[in-house]
Amino acid sequence: MFMTRNILDFSDYIIEHTRDFTGREWVFTQIDRWLANPDAPPFFIITGEPGIGKTAIAAQLVRISNGQAPEPAGCISIKKGFLNAAHFCIRQQVNTVEPLEFVQSLYSQLLEIEGFTEEMLENKGVEGQTAVPAYIDMVINPLKALHDRDPNRQTVIVVDSLDEAARMARRDTIVDLLANTGRLPAGVRFILTTRPEDRVLRRFDERNVPYLLLDVTRGGNPEDIRRYIQEKLSSSNALAARLAENHMDKETFIKAAGEACKGNFLYLVWLLPAIAGGKQGLDDPAAFPVGLDGIYQAFLRTRIGNDLDQWRKSYRLLLGVLIAAQEPLAIDQLTRFTGLEAQEVRDILIDVQQVLSPSLYQQGLYQPYHQSIVGFLTHADRAGELWIDPQPIHDKIADLYLSEYNGRWAACDRYGLRHLPFHLAQAGRLEDLRRLLLDFSWLQAKLEAADISSILVDYDFSAHDEELHLAQGALRLSAHALAKNKSEMAGQLVGRLLACEQPGIQGLVGQAKEWRGKPWLRPLTASLMLPGPLLLTLEGHRDDVSAVALHADG
């Protein structure tokens, strides 16, 4: 079975994050030098605090490669067509941080390379595999074969926001895949961005990876900030009029705004429209909000005034659901998860539109615009009385699904089947999670709606439970069969777990025996292999396996 082509669409996200893109030639110059050096390491990491412009740079590289933005002056390697694949990790769009989705999207983009397609014709895909063998099988090995045939070629891939991927409660994350790939051909290059988090950066320490730190004073950052403010003054009549009303000259304003933002572009994205719209005073530039937290505090305060009861009754609930959600939500989902009337939900969304993703908003879907907003609202010391504790929200969403669908999971919606285990884990309801993952009707419903790989990763939320580990092992051993025929789950579980004496496993086997969804052959004995040394079956090779290669980490 060939792996279906599935390129994740980041086009709106790229447009959203490159609107008014300014400067950064000094960044492109450093990337260009690294690309032009045949002896350079395979990874180049751009790091910096939230809002400093990492995603904008990654997105602009994609636009340059697609011919949608001019090639940087003086660059040799950064030009139209220089990128072969791009991926953006967005924490609240969980499919973008799932390792297997990442593998499939890269694979689908790399198929555009002549020769990569030829290399893959004999491969049968990764459905049912775990992330590591899938990545090696579908991305790394074909790239190595491609570069063996053409050592002078270059393959360049951009992966943005690795820190978001690293937060996933999974055994293998996208960071693990990239950091554990072994030696890559000299022409394979990855441009990576991340916040300066140790759990990401330390994974690349041994590879002598060059880092580019974006901060207040580094490189051309101050000049980029200055140019951005100048361009906004030139293009916004409202902003220029506000300066004139307050008898403030442009140079004084540029200096004041530049100092207030402390090198952070996202700060200016908020401050300048607030000044243009009359929501931020110009009487005392020294009184501009302090940092992104100050911007968010001021914005939300103008929405609720001194009425904290209104914040606690509805605003906090709605924003809490948007923070807890694992994908963008529509109006009907928001009314369902919050219990608020649709009219009230719409009114609040209009009020807080500025903190929401503009491109999704236009599509009738809602999600915080930037992860720094989530970080502010969920940090008690930073948000103060505006703090949102996400745990009760996860609990509320989990309760809704358990009360409505427990025992009839085949009727559950896509969001519930995809994300209920996550919400249970985040709510600390590990016993409910345990029952769910030992419920055959749940497993069969999720398999019908998704695939076996998405089921396997759910067990990682409770990795130390012996019975869940056994059930996960049985499903992993069955993955190659279930990838072809989803009606084999009952037979696979009975055949592998029938002889196990653990109460939870016996309950799962008993439910499987009663399944009547489709005709199936029920094993009368434990005739299939139990989980143990064998982890899973890999298909696709054309002859007997005569050798095995092991990484140093096992």
For residue 3, what pLDDT is reported? 46
Model pLDDT for residues 424-439, shown as the tens digit of each residue: 999 999 999 999 999 9
Mean pLDDT of the chain: 85
Measured CA to CA, the distance from residue 418 to residue 415 in angstroms comes to 5
pLDDT above 90 covers a percentage of the chain that reads 32
For residue 270, what pLDDT is reported? 84
For residue 399, what pLDDT is reported? 95
Question: What is the band of 400 on the pLDDT scale with cuts at 50, 70, 90?
Answer: very high
Per the model's pLDDT, the better-predicted residue between 348 and 280 turns out to be 348
Name 101's Cβ contacts closer than 8 Å, sequence gap at least 6: 6, 8, 95
Residue 2 has pLDDT above 50, yes or no: no
Question: What is the band of 89 on the pLDDT scale with cuts at 50, 70, 90?
Answer: very high
Name 483's Cβ contacts closer than 8 Å, sequence gap at least 6: 1, 127, 128, 451, 452
Per the model's pLDDT, the better-predicted residue between 415 and 4 turns out to be 415
Measured CA to CA, the distance from residue 65 to residue 353 in angstroms comes to 31
Question: How do beta strands 211-214 and 43-48 pair?
Answer: parallel
Model pLDDT for residues 220-230, shown as the tens digit of each residue: 888 888 888 98
For residue 284, what pLDDT is reported? 78
For residue 542, what pLDDT is reported? 56
Residue 128 has pLDDT above 60, yes or no: no
Per the model's pLDDT, the better-predicted residue between 166 and 207 turns out to be 166
For residue 57, what pLDDT is reported? 93
For range 378-389, the mean pLDDT? 91
pTM of the model: 0.82
**212 strand-pairing partners:** 46
Which one, of 476, 513, 551, lies nearest residue 183 by Cα?
551
For residue 48, what pLDDT is reported? 85
Measured CA to CA, the distance from residue 513 to residue 467 in angstroms comes to 18
Residue 1 has pLDDT above 50, yes or no: no
For range 100-126, the mean pLDDT? 74
Name 152's Cβ contacts closer than 8 Å, sequence gap at least 6: 187
Half-sphere exposure of 508 (CA within 13 A, CB side): 34
Q: Which residues of 228-257 are buried (b: 16+ CB within 10 A; e: fewer)?
A: bbeebbeeeeebbebbeeeeeeeeebbebb
